[in-house]
Amino acid sequence: MNACLRTGAARFDAGRRERDAVRHRSSAGYVAVTLVSAPVVAGTLYSLAAAFGLVGAGSTGWDASRIMRVIGSSETWQSVLWTLYTAGVATIIAVIGAIALSVVLQRSGVGRALATFPLAVPYVAAGLAALLLLGQSGFFSRVAFAAGAVHDPAGFPELVYDRPGIALILAFAWKEFPFLALTAFAVLDTRGAELADTARTLGASAAATFRRVTLPLLWRGIAPATIAGFAYLVGQYELAVLLAPSAPQPLSVITYERASDPDLSRRGEAHVLGLLAMTLCGALVVVHGRSLRNADARGGASA
């Protein structure tokens, strides 16, 4: 009787201890999540206040003139469009490359290692390599010289700091491609071979199998990663600062320039531009979340 009571008390005690532990753990978790997200929230609120001229360098008290100046300036929209254009073209190149290579090299370990290697190269290092490769006195220019196509660096087309942003697009694509290839390999590993083999067994030609089975499967699988990668490139600074022209400037570079503008009254504009970049990326994240859910739903249906 006594022993039974004691066991019961011990169980109760253990149960309470565990409940306490769980509660304790979740509250520590919330503190940690708050710590993780608070700086972003605080920074965004500060940017909002600074955009309205309430705080920061050159603050004037409640006044929307900064916002109007940024939104009304054609420089801003050219910058936004140019940023979307470079990130977009690079993403298209990376998607095509990732799909093609993942299909062809699906069973090659060396191919996989090579395709994903650029992931390990930091953006600034990739940017410098692009300068040394594509600049007017870069490696390609020397090859063109050796081939007799150009006679001096100035004769080589401007691929860096240029309006079409060739070097920036290529560097973006070079860094984005391995990320998408990695995802594409994973998609093919989980379902690709099986579905393709079934299609072939049912009499589909190799071309039809690729077009009707492998390609749609790959596209659905890598669509979320594609949107995430695109959003990342839209905010990318490291490659942009090394390779982009001064007109039009990418959104990230123009934001940094305003933030360190010697004219203090213009620094508030950096906050408006920063919020603009956050809004753009936020919108893409919403699209990303949707495509992720779609991919899950379709994957669940077809599995």
Partner 1 sequence: MSMQRDAMASGRVVAPWHVFLLVALGVVSLGPVLLLVLRAAAASWLYPDLLPSRGATGSTLGAFATPILWSALTRSVLLAVATAVVATLLGFVAGRGLVRAPRGLRELATGAAFLPVVAPPIALGVGIQVLAIRAGVGGSLVGVLIAHVIPAAGYLTLYFLGVLSAYDRSMEDEARTLGATAWQTFLRVTVPALRARWLEALVLGALVSWGQLALTLLVGGGAVQTLPVALLSFTRAGDDRLAAAAALLLTIPPALAFGVVQRGARRTGASA
Nearer to partner 1, 89 or 228 (CB): 228
198 binds partner 1 (CB under 8 A): no
Considering only 9, 73, 282, 297, the residue that binds partner 1 (CB under 8 A) is: 282
Q: Which stretch binds partner 1 (CB under 8 A): 85-93, 115-123, 159-167, 294-302?
A: 115-123
- HSE-CB at 112 with a 13 A cutoff on CA atoms is 11
149 binds partner 1 (CB under 8 A): no
Nearer to partner 1, 9 or 285 (CB): 285
Considering only 69, 84, 93, 123, the residue that binds partner 1 (CB under 8 A) is: 123
Min CB(36)–partner 1 separation in Å: 4
Are residues 86 and 134 in contact, defined by beta-carbon separation less than 8 angstroms?
no
Q: Cα 107 vs. chain centroid, distance in angstroms?
A: 27
Considering only 93, 162, 237, 299, the residue that binds partner 1 (CB under 8 A) is: 237
Q: Which of the residues 55 through 84 are near partner 1 (CB under 8 A)?
A: 55-57
List all residues 6 or more positions away from 173 whose beta carbon is below 8 Å from its beta carbon. 89, 90, 91, 93, 94, 97
86-105 CB burial, b ≥16 within 10 A, e <16: bbebbbebbbebbbebbbeb
110 binds partner 1 (CB under 8 A): yes
28 binds partner 1 (CB under 8 A): yes
160 binds partner 1 (CB under 8 A): no
Nearer to partner 1, 78 or 136 (CB): 136
At 286, is the secondary structure helix, strand, or coil?
helix
